[in-house]
Amino acid sequence: MKIALIGYGKMGKIIESVAEERGHTAGLKIDIDNIAQFTKGNLQTCDVAIEFTGPHSAKENILKCLDAGIPVVSGSTGWLEDKAEIDNFCKEKNGSFLYASNFSVGVNIFFELNKKLAQLMKQQDSYEISMEEIHHTQKKDAPSGTAITLAEQVIEAIPLKKNWVNNESENSAELVIISKREDPAPGTHSIKYSSVIDDIEIIHTAHSRQGFALGAVLAAEYIHDKKGIFSMKDILGL
């Protein structure tokens, strides 16, 4: 496949390396320095786009790729209030779109583990739930997209929790997510159930970006010849 890399920072370069190892090429590499090359014509020379930018540009980037008629995989976070609009546009264009808050195979297994634990704990009123996520200082959004996904899974399963907040709270209906930004930070997410008797905690720690890059390339391989809206669950059979 010829891949358009929309966002060519640290993540984009690792995705390119993984893609080349799997026999693909980067036909287009777009960053802030060459944004003029981000055209419909250039996109149409590629088979699929992988978009890793930021919350302020992701929506327009995805729309431009879909308008060019190429499948797009996005791992940008912080823009999900616009996802319904993106999904509708994808359907209008008979396109292909896959978004994931985290492309790591391990994290997507962790998502399933989180849902299962939340189901087991939903009747255990003596436990208080809290979450923590730690990332490097260059990560601009907080909480992370992964943390939001985990929080939404907990809220869906546990009736007492109504919403999440990104600060300390004494309100029992609020699920607290504490975000920390420090260097170096491998990328850690934890969910803790605490009582006076004991604690139950699940943790995922990423040791490098390689797992995210591989997942993004797997996603591109999966959707490049398909139509519709997909998720990592489709790829991993979860």
Active-site positions read 135, 139
Angle 204-207-208 (CA atoms, 0-180°, nearest 5)?
125
Cβ-contact 45, 2 below 8 angstroms: yes
- Residue 232 CB: number of other CB atoms within 10 A? 23
Cβ-contact 230, 96 below 8 angstroms: yes
Cβ-contact 18, 41 below 8 angstroms: no
**Helix, strand, coil % (nearest 5) of the chain?**
40, 25, 35
Cβ-contact 48, 19 below 8 angstroms: no
CA distances from 143 to 70, 92, 170, 181, 210 (A): 30, 32, 19, 10, 22
